[in-house]
Amino acid sequence: MSTRQYFAGLTELENKMEDVTLTCLTNLRVGRSRGQLAANKPCLLLAILCEIQRGHISTPQVYIDDRLIARYFDLYEIATGDRHAANPHLPLWHLKSDQGVTGALWEPNFESSIANVADSIGQPKSLKKLSTLFTEATLDPALFNAFQDPSTARSACALIVTHYFARSDQQNDLNVYLNNAFASGEYEKQTDRLVGEVTENAQQQARSAAFRMLVLEAYDYRCAATRLRFITPDYRYLVEAAHLIPFAESFDDRPSNGLALTPNLHWAMDNYLIAPGPDHKWHVSPTLDELMPDNAWLHQLDGQAVILPRAKHSQPDPLALSWRMDHLLR
């Protein structure tokens, strides 16, 4: 047997193994909603795939956190157009009835106090009630191992999208989102690639998504000026990721060039009315009249501490803070 034949046979064997591993993804027990297959379980699996590729889920033990749930809401909205009907507690609960490669596809890790009676507990009515029963679950280890490979993960996404979403517009919109999610995940894992000029629109979108996620996570979705933290019931965040040195000047999407701010303070900083300084305090432009009542919401920030992330690598670059102070209106 030649070397070429050997590797061709090996590739064919690997493809067959991948097909067997992913077959279970087409056997989900899903109901119907408005004449279409229900999107809940497929969207949850797509969200898990995205987070594995990003590195956020790094073991078969899947922690049910804000990031995973927000990803699920995004995918459900794209697939159905109705974010408010996502009901994440439904797939998180019912996915345990599906089979994976080596056993259960999804096994909730029930709280020890109810583990012995878990089988007799009925479906929780909300995500909050579900969280009192379990906050993490085990994904079939064989699937998790397969999902770690980017090529296999993309194949799994394509299989889920084509099998459970019949309309071409659904498939197209989901594929666009998933491609961007996978690309931004690569940037999140390699933040040194987040600096430098961008030549393609797809690259810019992926980098922007990575910048937003890295900054918001670093600040725990809390405003660096007011400490406000608010996540809506359908998992939209109050804060935005704001560049310290504008991207057009720095081409820098690293989290150290960003802050999490509420929209009004993001606007104020972009218009050079406020600035975080190297002293890690907020400064207000002297051009704003302190006696004007309408300016009070900005003047009350003067001298207040900048809320910093715990992770050193995500804290604001001193040079970026100096740039902001240099450009404060005077």
Q: Measured between alpha carbons, how far is 14 from 95 in angstroms, rounded to an integer?
A: 27
Q: Flag whether pLDDT at 18 surpasses 80.
A: no
Residue type at position 283: H
Q: Find the angle CA(287)-CA(291)-CA(294) to the nearest 5 degrees.
A: 80
Q: Flag whether pLDDT at 209 surpasses 50.
A: yes
The answer to whether residues 180 and 299 belong to one domain is no
Indicate whether this model's pTM tops 0.85: yes
The answer to whether residues 19 and 103 belong to one domain is yes
pLDDT in tens, 303-327: 999 999 999 999 999 999 999 999 9
193's tokens? 């690639």
Looking at residue 11, its pLDDT comes to 46
**Mean pLDDT of the region 236-256:** 97
The answer to whether residues 180 and 230 belong to one domain is no
Q: Flag whether pLDDT at 6 surpasses 50.
A: no
Q: Give the structural domain span for 36.
A: 14-186
The answer to whether residues 100 and 40 belong to one domain is yes
Average pLDDT, the chain: 92
> How many domains are there within the chain?
2
**To the nearest whole percent, how much of the chain has pLDDT over 90?**
86
Q: Flag whether pLDDT at 301 surpasses 60.
A: yes
Indicate the DSSP class of residue 327.
T
Residue 8 in domain: no
pLDDT in tens, 50-59: 999 999 999 9
33's tokens? 């909603």
The answer to whether residues 49 and 160 belong to one domain is yes
The answer to whether residues 100 and 174 belong to one domain is yes
Residue 6 in domain: no
The residue from 135, 156, 186 where one domain ends is 186
Residue 162 in domain: yes
Exposure b/e, 82-107, CB count within 10 A at least 16 = b: ebeebebbbbbbbbbebebbeebbbb
The answer to whether residues 176 and 241 belong to one domain is no
Residue 289 in domain: yes
The residue from 186, 209, 236 where one domain ends is 186
pLDDT in tens, 61-120: 999 999 999 999 999 999 999 999 999 999 999 999 999 998 999 999 998 888 788 778
